Amino acid sequence: MKEKIMHGVFAIAALTSIFAVVLICVFLFASGVPAIKEVGFLEFLGGTSWKPTASNPEFGIFPMIIGSIYVTAGAIIIGVPIGVLTAVFMAFYCPKKLYRPLKSATELLAGIPSVVYGFFGLVVIVPLLRDLFDEQGCRGQSILAASILLGLMILPTIIGVSESALRAVPQSYYEGATALGATHEEAIFRTVLPAAKSGVLAGVILGIGRAIGETMAVIMVAGNQPRMPESIFQGVRTLTGNIVMDMAYAEGLHREVLIATGVVLFVFILIINISFSILKRRDPNAG
């Protein structure tokens, strides 16, 4: 009887998670799809003008889509190499005395609130970029500032998942490589790291998901300018930032369009997860 009761409890917990996801999907698509139809699919996704309060409102979110892509791509370029190499160092090179404080520091990064990251970017990164790239017209709050800040924010996720994946590779892989004449570095980067590719990629995907969905920190350093960016030194507005900036006073069609923006964001994350699943299936080392 106890086993049956616990089986029912576990089943209810699993179904609750599934129900929550389904409920979110139904809410987003039920509220967002009609707004997309009313505005027009091409005008909504391909429009370059965002003027929701004008007499003839325009709801083009293409600048925000490009802004999100640019900021996320910059965060990947900055955060992924640093995160993966840090994980390799912690798994194979880090002295025991240094490992515990380094591990605690990376875990602490994951617990820092987004608004604190935003203040750090506003006080440190933005003035630094303004001083360094003033001749290029940089005013500090820009794509570059948001990319650097997001690159720092995704480090804990990439480091933690990548390190666990590297440690999960059987020791025989490393020993076999060194027995065949490979050096320590060759055994790690040519044998162990490729074997842990699936886990490392999972960490990267999780980091990308956080970068795309981050809002508060990006709002504080990105400039929040709904325009097509021409340089990494210009301000930009992301999809999440657009929702937060306008939701406080939005009503009617404007509010529904913001929910539709959430649908686009949801589809982006869904595409990333599906792509990861496809890559994982093709990877012979995927566990």
Q: Which residue has the tokens 């929701």?
A: 52
- Position 232 scores a pLDDT of 86
Phi, psi at 50, each rounded to 5°: -120, 100
- Position 166 scores a pLDDT of 92
Q: How far are the Cα atoms of 15, 19, 216, 239, 251 from residue 28, in angstroms, in the given order?
A: 20, 14, 21, 15, 16
Q: Residue 125 contacts by C-beta under 8 Å, 6 or more apart in sequence?
A: 140, 145, 148, 149, 221
Bridge partners for 59 per DSSP: 50
Half-sphere exposure of 206 (CA within 13 A, CB side): 17
CA 39, CA 245: separation in Å to the nearest integer? 20
CA 140, CA 152: separation in Å to the nearest integer? 17
- Position 150 scores a pLDDT of 93
Phi, psi at 41, each rounded to 5°: -60, -50
> Tens of pLDDT along 209-236?
888 888 888 888 988 888 888 888 888 8
Strand (E) positions, 21-131?
50-51, 58-59
Sign of CA dihedral 136, 137, 141, 146: negative
Phi, psi at 236, each rounded to 5°: -150, 160
Percent of the chain with pLDDT over 70: 97
The set of long-range contacts for 38-44, using a CB threshold of 8 Å and a minimum separation of 24, is 38/253, 38/256, 39/253, 39/257, 39/260, 44/257, 44/260
Secondary structure class of 237 (helix, strand, coil):
coil
What residues in the chain have per-residue pLDDT under 50?
286-287
In the CATH hierarchy, which fold is given to the domain comprising 62-282? Answer: MetI-like fold (1.10.3720)
Residue 70 identity (one-letter amino acid):
Y
- Position 228 scores a pLDDT of 86
Written as six digits, the tokens of 57 are 């409102």
pTM confidence score:
0.85
